[in-house]
Amino acid sequence: MAARSIGSLTVSFGLVAIPVKLFTATQSAGHISFNLLHKDCGSRLRQQYICIKDGSIVDREGMEKGYEFAKDQYVRFTNEEIKALEEVGSHSVEIAEFVPIESVDPVYYDKTYYLSPDKGANKPYALLNQALKDSKRCAIGRWAVRGRSNLVVLRPIGDVLTMQQLHFSTEVRPATEGDVPKPEVKAAELKLAQQLISQQASDKFDPSAYKDEVKARVEAEIQKKVEGHEISVTAEEPKTGAKVIDLMEALRASLEKKEARPAAAAKPAATAKLGPRKSPKRVEQPAAKPARKTARR
CATH of the domain at 119: 2.40.290.10
Q: Residue range 35-50: average pLDDT?
A: 91
Residue 239's pLDDT is what? 61
Query: According to the model, what pLDDT value does residue 261 have?
Result: 63
Q: Is residue 157 part of a domain?
A: yes
Which residue range is the domain that position 113 belongs to?
7-26+86-171
Q: Is residue 155 in a domain?
A: yes
Residue 74 resides in a domain = no
Domain presence at residue 51:
no
Residue 252 lies in a domain: no
Number of compact structural domains in the chain: 1
Inside any domain, residue 138: yes
Asked if residue 132 belongs to a domain, the reply is yes
45-93 per-position pLDDT tens digit = 988 899 988 999 999 889 999 999 999 899 999 888 888 876 666 788 9
Between CA 113 and CA 35, with CA 215 as vertex, the angle to 5 degrees is 85
Domain contains 273: no
pLDDT tens digits, 83-120:
887 666 678 898 999 999 999 999 999 999 999 999 98
Q: How confident is the model at residue 185 (pLDDT cuts 50, 70, 90)?
A: confident
pLDDT at 155 over 70: yes
